[in-house]
Amino acid sequence: MEIGVISDVHGNIVALDAVLEDMPDVDKLVCAGDVVGYNPWPGECLDTIRDADVTTIEGNHDRAVVTGQYPGFNDMAAAGVEYAREQLTDEQIEWLAALPTERTLFDGRVKLVHGHPDDPDHYTQPSEFSPDLLDDEDVLIMGHTHVQHHEIYDDGIVLNPGSVGQPRDSDHRAAYSIVDPDEWTVEQRRVEYDTSAVIHEVVEAGLPQQIGFRLTQGR
């Protein structure tokens, strides 16, 4: 059983389209949160995720768009939230509001969280990966850090697929992963996309230019 894993799309439809085009035929698609935020296509990304039947959870930017509350967000993050709140329809915001903070799939074999099993807002860096993060599941999937990494332990797999729309691991390419809980394998994948097109639309939307420019450096 192969599961395509994405996370942290952050309103970047150019990167999302590239990832979905590159994605091989899998049994299920899942997303570890933050469909919206930062980039100028929140509605398009949300609709694409829904149309592709991607099982999704709430990320901190998704929650911020729903609530209008985002303490601690920097100027870029705050601008992305405000833009998304202006652009999304009431129905789209209701869809975000209905997302759970955690999902357990495949009879408990796969758990999907955003930041950490005990705290959805905690940035679980690769250095913190350990079998202690696992409960009864075979695969724990996390997002939030935008850093692609995985570890395979005797007790199971801990996986962050990286970010589709705003990688922060010094690789500008859109990131995703494929995990097979039957074979206990993980394939980390990266996809080139047109960052210049994103930069142009970020500027056209009146968003902070650094949102676009940082994409070229993967940070």
- Confirm if 56 and 35 have CB atoms less than 8 A apart: yes
Task: Determine the pLDDT at residue 140.
Answer: 98
Residue 146 above 90 pLDDT? Answer: yes
- Given this model, what pLDDT does residue 158 score? 98
What's the pLDDT tens digit per position in 107-125? Answer: 999 999 999 999 999 999 9
pLDDT at 38: 98
**pLDDT tens digits for 45-82?**
999 999 999 999 999 999 999 999 999 999 999 999 99
How many residues would you count in the chain?
219
Residue 35: phi and psi, rounded to 5, are -70, -35
C-alpha dist (Å) from residue 21 to 3, 16, 62, 191: 15, 8, 24, 10
> What is the predicted pLDDT for the residue at 219?
84
Q: How far is CA 118 from CA 5, 87, 95, 114, 201, in A?
A: 21, 32, 24, 10, 37
pLDDT tens profile 3-21: 999 999 999 999 999 999 9
pTM of the predicted model as reported, rounded to 2 decimal places: 0.97
Distance of CA 125 to the CA centre of its chain: 15
Note the pLDDT of residue 218. 87
Strands (E), the chain: 3-6, 28-31, 55-56, 102-105, 110-113, 139-141, 149-152, 157-160, 174-180, 185-191
Q: How confident is the model at residue 87 (pLDDT cuts 50, 70, 90)?
A: very high
Predicted confidence at residue 114, as pLDDT, reads 98
Domains in the chain with CATH codes: 3-216 (3.60.21.10)
Chain segment 25-35, per-residue pLDDT in tens: 999 999 999 99
Q: Tell me how far apart the alpha carbons of residues 101 and 160 are, in angstroms, rounded to a whole number.
A: 16
For residue 139, the tally of other CB atoms under 10 A from its CB is 24
